[in-house]
A and B are shown apart, each in its own frame.
Chain A
Amino acid sequence: MIASQLPALLVVVPLLAALGVPLLAWPWPRAAWPVAVLATAATALLAVAGMLRALAGETMRYAAGGWAAPWGIELVLDPLSAFVALVVAGVAAWSVLYGAGVDDPRTRDRQGVVAALVLLVLAALLGIVVAGDLFNLFVFLEVGAIATYALVGVGGGRALVASFRYVILGSLGASLYLLGVGHLYLATGTLNMADMAARLPGTEPSRLVPLAVGLVVVGLGIKMGLFPLHGWLPDAYTHAPPAVTALIAPVATKVAAYALVRFLFTVLGPAYLLEHTLLGSALTWLGALSILAGGILAIRQTDFRKVLAYSSVSQMGYIALGIGLANPSGVLGAYLHILNHALMKGCLFFVAGIATLRLGGSALSDLRHMHRRMPVVTLCLVVAALSMVGVPPTGGFFSKWYVLLGAVEAGRFGLAGIVLAGSLLAVAYMFRIVESACLEPRGEDGHGHDRDGHAGPRRREPAAALLASVLALAAAVVAAGVWNAPIVDALRRAPMAGP
């Protein structure tokens, strides 16, 4: 009974909570975050239930308002969308717990608003994941984006500039996507993904479809933050309040990547990429360029969060490259990287937020003595950094391995070299962070004094909620590597990742 409602419940639960939280927070501001934590935890449980059902081979479809597809709006949970929904809801549950624990002076008097918008973003991201037609995907994309613009700007000052740039570029991406969808609608007369996939082969060849594909890919490329369409990403991640970055940095770009996968493999069908090799190579080179440019730009940064933001550009490149290869190993690598990058980037941004608020800034030089002040947090930082580089047994190793395998199987050794070079770049930029956090500057005694000459660092880990979320994601990074085999088995049922 409840199974057929699952796709709708995934959206409705956080959406209702987003409406309820401001009403609650008006008389009781302190109630906002606990309610948000409960709502996201419930959503994560629903996502687990959806994943279990999908693993049993069931595809859940919900016809909104009782109108059957393809005329009505359809919400679908199949193995791929259940997987991404679980990643999004799972990471978001810890992000919201982290947000509840953060004591940020910039958002202290606006907790109800921030919590409500965070829940709205979550509802929209899950809406994108379950959307069964291209227009609803656009609507959810924009609902999430508009809530994100507001969240990024909530800190004021530089964050407002970042927020405005995000508005301009994000809306440009969405407009290009919508224009592409309009072309496809004129060519096929339908918006439902499954229906369009069935009709596309029968339409007469025209320039409408390739143009539409180009517009949609560029539009979603902006939302994914691929180089050179990444202009909005670094400032938005750096200047947004820590509670906000903790949610949008790990999952928002992954959901855009999922939308691209849906469009390419469900709507156009796997054969399309093989027939139109130009599209495939454009995507792979866009990915390769992102890996290199993002990595090089990350090395040049002196701010912890900026390094992480540019490394996101680099890591999203792996996902685009894997998708563009369009062979089972490459696509499997892309799917795995959606999971692994969400976990490790979540963990790293949690640490960055703690460092910003506890150590007085997020410049790399502010991280001095971090391993003495917060050894557990620093350990989590190191684990996530190893995963970014791709050291086994962390999850990051396996996703990069499959993308590499895909490049080799396709005979594209230049791309394989770039995948390896990306890992070397990650060694460089992650080591700078770990070095600042762990190693004592030369010429100081072991119990060094900080810059102002005050007493040496004392060990004081952050509040329990923060520590729990950092530890949970660090543990998940390792678990995703150790239990890699069952995850890969489950993913082989998703489109294009089959044997």
Chain B
Amino acid sequence: MMALAAGHGVYWAAIALALIGFYAMIAHGNLLKQLIGLNILQTAVILFFIAGSAKWGAVIPIASRAAGAEMAAERAMNPLPHALMLTAIVVMVATLGVALAVLVRLYRRYGSFEEDAILDRAE
């Protein structure tokens, strides 16, 4: 698992996820499935950032004085991508929330998640 995380394989996994998500967004007429595709794409971006901070035999980047030893910064994982992705996840959740709220209102009004059916009934 660590070999996968530290090698290039994880980037290919992120690219595959992104393409799966993108395909779902453009290939489906169902709005809910488009939203799921978007979510997969966003997850791929997060995986990409996190993979960028992975390192063989690294320690968590918390300096502890109790052990008495100075921590070598180059041994620690890079914490910044993790912090960035926490923010990105919050953005994702907010987007998802607004999108689901819109979908609920669409469904109540038109009784369908299919784009064609909604556009027909909206005319």
The interface of chain A, by Cβ under 8 A from chain B, is 135, 138-139, 142-143, 145-146, 149-150, 153, 156-158, 160-161, 163-164, 167-168, 171-172, 174-175, 178-179, 182, 185-186
A182→B85 CA distance, assembly (Å): 11
When distances are taken between beta carbons in the complex, the residues of chain B under 8 Å from A143 are 91
**Which of B2-10, B61-69, B103-111 forms part of the interface with chain A?**
B103-111
Task: Name which residue of chain A comes closest to B123, CB basis.
Answer: A158
A149 touches B98 (CB 8 A): yes
B45-71, CB under 8 A of A: which get 1 and which 0?
100110010000000000000000000
When distances are taken between beta carbons in the complex, the residues of chain B under 8 Å from A161 are 106, 115, 118-119, 122
B102 at interface, CB cutoff 8 A: yes
A160 touches B102 (CB 8 A): yes
**Which among A156, A157, A167 has the greatest number of chain B C-beta atoms within 10 A?**
A167
* Candidates B38, B49, B91, B105; contact of A168 at CB < 8 Å: B38
A135 touches B38 (CB 8 A): no
When distances are taken between beta carbons in the complex, the residues of chain B under 8 Å from A145 are 95
When distances are taken between beta carbons in the complex, the residues of chain B under 8 Å from A158 are 122
B88 at interface, CB cutoff 8 A: yes
A163 touches B122 (CB 8 A): no
B99 at interface, CB cutoff 8 A: yes
When distances are taken between beta carbons in the complex, the residues of chain A under 8 Å from B38 are 167-168, 171-172, 175
B48 touches A182 (CB 8 A): yes
A145→B38 CA distance, assembly (Å): 15
A17→B109 CA distance, assembly (Å): 33
A153 touches B102 (CB 8 A): yes
Given known A149-B99, A160-B106, A161-B119, contact A168–B45 (CB-CB < 8 A) = no
A146→B91 CA distance, assembly (Å): 9
A167 touches B119 (CB 8 A): no
A171 touches B109 (CB 8 A): no
A452→B64 CA distance, assembly (Å): 82
When distances are taken between beta carbons in the complex, the residues of chain A under 8 Å from B52 are 182, 185-186
What are 30 pairs between A and B in contact, CB < 8 Å?
A138-B91, A139-B91, A142-B91, A142-B95, A146-B95, A146-B98, A149-B98, A149-B99, A149-B102, A150-B98, A150-B101, A153-B105, A156-B105, A157-B109, A161-B119, A163-B102, A164-B31, A164-B103, A167-B98, A168-B34, A171-B38, A174-B91, A178-B88, A179-B45, A179-B48, A182-B48, A182-B52, A182-B81, A185-B49, A185-B52
A157 touches B42 (CB 8 A): no
When distances are taken between beta carbons in the complex, the residues of chain B under 8 Å from A171 are 38, 42, 95
When distances are taken between beta carbons in the complex, the residues of chain B under 8 Å from A163 are 102
B99 touches A160 (CB 8 A): no
B77 at interface, CB cutoff 8 A: no
**Which among B91, B118, B122 has the greatest number of chain A C-beta atoms within 10 A?**
B91
B84 at interface, CB cutoff 8 A: yes
When distances are taken between beta carbons in the complex, the residues of chain B under 8 Å from A164 are 31, 99, 102-103, 106
Q: How near does chain B come to A287, taking the closest CB pair, in angstroms?
A: 24
- Which residues of B78-93 are within 8 A (CB) of A? 81, 84, 87-88, 91
When distances are taken between beta carbons in the complex, the residues of chain A under 8 Å from B35 are 167-168
A157 touches B122 (CB 8 A): yes
Task: Name which residue of chain A comes closest to B18, CB basis.
Answer: A179
B45 touches A178 (CB 8 A): yes
A167 touches B109 (CB 8 A): no
* Candidates B18, B31, B94; contact of A146 at CB < 8 Å: B94
When distances are taken between beta carbons in the complex, the residues of chain B under 8 Å from A182 are 45, 48-49, 52, 81
A138→B90 CA distance, assembly (Å): 12
Q: How near does chain B come to A164, taking the closest CB pair, in angstroms?
A: 5
Q: How near does chain A come to B18, taking the closest CB pair, in angstroms?
A: 7
A476→B48 CA distance, assembly (Å): 46
When distances are taken between beta carbons in the complex, the residues of chain A under 8 Å from B22 are 172
When distances are taken between beta carbons in the complex, the residues of chain B under 8 Å from A174 are 91
When distances are taken between beta carbons in the complex, the residues of chain A under 8 Å from B41 are 172, 175
Task: Name which residue of chain A comes closest to B88, CB basis.
Answer: A178
When distances are taken between beta carbons in the complex, the residues of chain A under 8 Å from B98 are 146, 149-150, 167
Beyond A153-B105, A156-B109, A168-B38, 11 additional pairs, beta carbon < 8 A: A138-B88, A138-B91, A142-B95, A143-B91, A146-B98, A161-B118, A167-B35, A168-B99, A172-B25, A174-B91, A179-B18
Task: Name which residue of chain A comes closest to B115, CB basis.
Answer: A161
- Which residues of B20-47 are within 8 A (CB) of A? 22, 25, 31, 34-35, 38, 41-42, 45
B45 touches A167 (CB 8 A): no
When distances are taken between beta carbons in the complex, the residues of chain B under 8 Å from A179 are 18, 45, 48
A186→B106 CA distance, assembly (Å): 41
B84 touches A135 (CB 8 A): yes
When distances are taken between beta carbons in the complex, the residues of chain A under 8 Å from B34 are 168
When distances are taken between beta carbons in the complex, the residues of chain A under 8 Å from B81 are 182, 185
When distances are taken between beta carbons in the complex, the residues of chain B under 8 Å from A153 are 102, 105
B87 touches A168 (CB 8 A): no
